[in-house]
Amino acid sequence: MITIYTDGGCQGNPGPGGWGTIVLQDGERIEYSGREPRTTNNRMELQGAIEGLLRTPEGSEVTLSSDSQYLVYTMTRGWKRNKNLDLWEKLDSLTASRKVKWAWLQDFQHPEMERAHQLATGHGGNAPTLAGVQGTQPPAGGLGPALSKAEGVSPKMATDSPGSTSEQAPSLTHLDERGHARMVDVSPKAETSREAIARGRVLMKPETLRLLQEGKVEKGDALAVARLAGISAAKDTSRLIPLAHPLPLTQVAVHLALDEANSAVDIEARAKTVGRTGVEMEALVAVSMAALALYDMLKAADRAMHITDIRLVRKSGGKSGTFVAE
């Protein structure tokens, strides 16, 4: 089994960049690194993986670790490939002739991952491009020549700037190209009127529903408490959801309706704002907290209540327009 740790990055994105790769095989540990005067984070992440695999024989079993979630998940989960198709083609060719197991490691989760990062960013000390602990030549069967180490580069940027040439998974806006969580920059967006509606329900025993109908809940007006809890929670969404933006809500309305036929309480929340991002999370949080508050009010009588079907049913406003689920 051959183990590879690889990393890549650049300054400016695009800008000067580099890659670093560590190959461990048969008790030998060899470091490789290279530089490019103008490149992107993703090209260097890909190049690092390519250079590592080039140093392994065809047919070998390889575990390749990278801190680029996009690289790993593109190879294992079929994430989109919109750019750098030349490098993806090389990587596909190399993996087709090897048994590669991909592993995603966050920054500095492993000493070798940290070292690969140092090599990629030019902060790896005075080690030459080939710095073998037990030798300075590529493993037997290696295919690629060692690249010379040129000027160092600054540590790679975790997030691309808008309009950069790096490759991303566009459907996951809260992840940067390396899979790291980020708060989306909404400053370029226009302020528009936005609205979202979410729904959910709480299933309960018929006798519990009757307590609500007859106003006999020991703690008081359970429906009023749940409604206020939902409204309050919507206003605290940015505190409860780490990457949500604080929004100036213009309205939050929470409605609860008794469904005797299904022994349930149906909850609907409507949130509105005028801003640069949507209020879907505010509506969903309102429904969720209203359901939890209702559970709290009724749990002494029915601990088997079931909170279910929380979902977004409609949103409007913004560049993406109107979405209707039901």
Active site residues: 296
Contact 75, 69 (CB under 8 A): no
Q: How far is CA 198 from CA 94, 195, 228, 314, 321, in A?
A: 47, 10, 16, 7, 17
- For the beta carbon of residue 303, count every other beta carbon within 10 angstroms: 8
Taking the C-alpha atoms of residue 285 and residue 255, their distance in angstroms, rounded to an integer, is 14
Taking the C-alpha atoms of residue 28 and residue 139, their distance in angstroms, rounded to an integer, is 8
What's the one-letter identity of residue 192? T
Spatial strand order of the sheet with 2-10 comes to 28-39, 15-25, 2-10, 61-66, 99-104
